[in-house]
Amino acid sequence: MFENIRLSFQGIWSHKLRSFLTMLGIIIGIAAIIAIVSTIEGTNELIKQNMMGNNRHTVKVQLSQDDYTYEISTWSPSPEGVPLFDEDTRQEILQIPNVLRAAFYQVRSEYNSVVFYNNQSLSSCTVLGIDQYYFGTAGYQIMQGREIIQEDSKKKRQVAVIDESVLRTLFPDEDPIGKTIEIYGEPFTVVGVCTQVGQSELVINSEEEYWTYYQGGSSSGNIYIPKGVWGTIYKFDEAQNLVLQASGADEMAAAGKAAANIMNQNMNVSDSSITYRSEDLMQQAKQLQDMQSSTNSMLIWVACISLLVGGIGVMNIMLVSVTERTKEIGLKKAIGAKKGRILGQFLTEAAILTSMGGLLGVAAGIGLAEVISKMSSTPVAINGTSIVVSVGFSTLIGVVFGLLPSISAANLNPIEALRHE
């Protein structure tokens, strides 16, 4: 075996240009496959990060009607028969396996100017009534000031925490802490500014992806107030939603469904289509990934054509090599070399030729993937499995397409081979 390998490298090195041109089809095919697979993996990971909230593993359980979130507004009030949830219910949800944290909240998306500071207003925003557990569960941290605490709700303090979007809009050049904003004409003192932990910009490449990732937020930002003063601006207690944090991505769906079941136990609405439902982000992410993969799989098949062309090139050059070395083969057979020895020598040379092409193709594919990433801002994830499979597949191509020339060499008549000019 080692002698065959030595002879293979010797033959390849003695015809460097011819060997490289023979490997070129393999190099191009493997490079294309590695680049495509790396881009697919990177895009899938990006989709998961966008959908999962940067690995926080948070799930929202929201009041829904049929397949849509029930959005409470002045024109669509909270349905009668939807219960308000207390600490006992939260503790029951925390007993669900793999649930780490949970918090109830109320939410309204405002599309009119209802929030003012001096002469400035927010054209749209999201107002959330939260408890002291919300920020830790949803993954927010305080940049300035403080967060909403239990005493704020108990004593009905009209205080607010704003996010960075509201900060940029209403307080571009001043410290917001201690300033008073108006929400529906009610004064609220800003006590804190928050940001999401590990927040990154979503990479949105199409209108479809925008509506898929969009979760009811507002471009003008979020304002958080104590749940105890929700009735001060909206006059009535309204249906609550839940955000929970699961221990891992695989546990999110089951935890969300179990929490929704608990919240639905005391529902007493006349319309059976109104229920609490958990968002299945894993399923949404998988659907997007499947769409991406089905498109890119066609590109992989196109790249495989290059490997087929490369394999034919290997077969052709090995047939030429057999013709060139006919006398050598005849001499070896004349001194006792068996068919298996000759067959093994040429198969080894074909396998090594394509393996080298595979390794060069992997290097070229990684480089191509990085270039694509830089040019299109598309993330890539180099997959070790795909590298191993690609090199193994290129070696298999050498064996398959080198088989015919090797058999041809092994079956040469030694007398006729020695007479060959």
pLDDT in tens, 22-68: 778 788 888 887 887 777 777 666 665 655 554 578 889 999 888 78
> How many angstroms separate the CA atoms of 25 and 305, rounded?
9
Cβ-contact 408, 321 below 8 angstroms: no
DSSP run (H or E) holding 289: helix 281-324
Cβ-contact 139, 197 below 8 angstroms: yes
Q: Where are the alpha helices (DSSP H) in 101-189?
A: 134-138, 150-154, 164-170
pLDDT digits (tens, 9 = 90+) for 335-365: 666 766 766 776 777 778 878 888 888 888 8
Confidence of residue 9 (pLDDT cuts 50, 70, 90): low
pTM: 0.59
Please report the pLDDT score of residue 202 as a whole number: 42
pLDDT digits (tens, 9 = 90+) for 289-300: 555 566 566 666
pLDDT digits (tens, 9 = 90+) for 170-216: 998 899 999 999 999 999 999 999 998 754 444 444 444 443 444 43
Q: Is the pLDDT of residue 218 over 50?
A: no
Q: Where are the beta strands (DSSP E) in 153-311?
A: 159-163, 180-183, 186-196, 222-226, 241-246, 274-278
Cβ-contact 219, 238 below 8 angstroms: no
Cβ-contact 252, 60 below 8 angstroms: no
